[in-house]
Amino acid sequence: MNIEFIEALEDMAKDKGIERDELYEMVEVGLQAAYQEEYDTDKDVDVEIDQNSGDIFIEGEQIQLGQFGRIASKKAEDVIRQLIREKQNELMYETYMKRKGELVNGSIHRFEGSDVWLNLGEVEALLPGSERIPGERYQQGDSLRAYLYRVEKKSGGLLLRVSRSMKEFVAKLMELEVPEIEDGLLEIVKIAREPGKRSKVAVQSLDEQIDPVGTCVGAGGSRVKEITEELNGEKIDVIRWSDDRELLIRNSLEPASVLSIEFNENDRGEEIAKVMVPKDDLAYAIGQNGQNVRLTVDLVGCDIDVRSPE
C-alpha cells in the first residue's frame, strides 16, 4: 500500500483547488506518458490508480514508480504539471468571468508605456492607456480600483482588461456609494461621460417616496464627493431621468433656465432641439468648450442648439 503517494495527491488536490478524481486522472495521463517514454512506444495503455491503496496498475500489472527511469519520470512530472496548470487556468477563467462587469481592486505592479499592470493577487490585469482617466498619475505600489470589462484566455494564463474611463465604471461606483441602487429602489438609466472632466448620470426612482437625485447626491453632497475623489476630481451631475426629451433637456441643463425647446430637422434631415435660455444663463448652459451641451446630446440622443434671445 502506497499511503504516502495517496496523501501527497490528496494534499495536492486541496492546494491546487482541483477535484480529487480529476487530479487522479491527470496523474494517470502522466504515468501513461512515462510508460510511453520508457518503452519508446506510442501505444495507449490502460493506467489505473487504486485510490484506496495507492497501488498503480498499467495494463493490469502492478508497477512501482521507481521502475521508471529518470527521463520517463521527468516526462510524467511535466505532463502532470501542464495538466494542473491548464485546469487552474480554466478555474481562474470561470472565476473571473463571473466577476466580469464588476469592480476589482489591485496594486500597480508595472508600467509598459501608458499601459498599467495591476496585481490582483492571483492574476494580473491590464489597464490600457486608452482606458485611463486623462490626467491621472500613478506610482508603482499604488492601490487602484477599476472596472473589469474583458476576460481573455491566453497561452499560459489569462488576460484581464480593466477600465477607469468607461461609463460603466461610474455606474459601479454609484452602486457602491448609493445602496438604494443596489437594492433596486433607484435605477441608473443612462450616463454621459467625458472622463476626468464631467459625467451626467440620469437616474429614476422605482419608489415614488424616494427622491432619486437627492438620494444619489447624499447629505451635503457626500456620496457624489466620494465618487469625484475616486475619479480624480471628475464632476458628477446627477439628474432626474424622463422619457419626455424636452423635460430631460431641461433637467440636464439645470440650473440654467430654459425658456423654450423646439424640435426640428437640420439640413441633413437629422433631428435637432433648438433650446432658448436667458442670456445670463447661456455660458453655463453651453458649458466650458461646449461640454454641457455635448453631454446633454449624449443623454437625449439628438443634436442640440442652445441660444439666447437676440
Q: What number of other Cβ atoms are within 10 A of residue 101's Cβ?
A: 12
The CATH number for 172's domain is: 3.30.300.20
Cα separation, 209 vs 211, in Å, equals 7
Same domain? 172 vs 148: no
User: Final residue of a domain: which of 120, 135, 163?
Assistant: 163
Same domain? 231 vs 257: no
Same domain? 237 vs 257: no
Cα separation, 66 vs 181, in Å, equals 63
Cα separation, 85 vs 81, in Å, equals 6
Cα–Cα separations (whole angstroms), residue 254 to 191, 267, 301:
16, 29, 18
Same domain? 21 vs 93: yes
Number of domains the chain contains = 4
What's the domain range around 222? 166-241
User: Final residue of a domain: which of 196, 211, 241?
Assistant: 241
Q: Which pLDDT score, from 0 to 100, does residue 73 have?
A: 81
pTM: 0.84
Residue 94 identity: E
Same domain? 225 vs 287: no
Same domain? 10 vs 94: yes
11-46 pLDDT tens trace:
877 887 888 888 888 888 888 888 888 888 888 888
The answer, yes or no, to whether residue 2 has pLDDT greater than 70, is: no
Which three cell numbers mark 28? 494517470
178-191 pLDDT tens trace:
999 999 999 999 99
Which three cell numbers mark 172? 459601479
- Of 169, 158, 150, the closest CA to residue 100 belongs to 150
The CATH number for 83's domain is: 3.30.1480.10
Residue 48 identity: E
The CATH number for 107's domain is: 2.40.50.140
User: Final residue of a domain: which of 163, 184, 212?
Assistant: 163
Q: Which residue has the cell 456620496?
A: 223
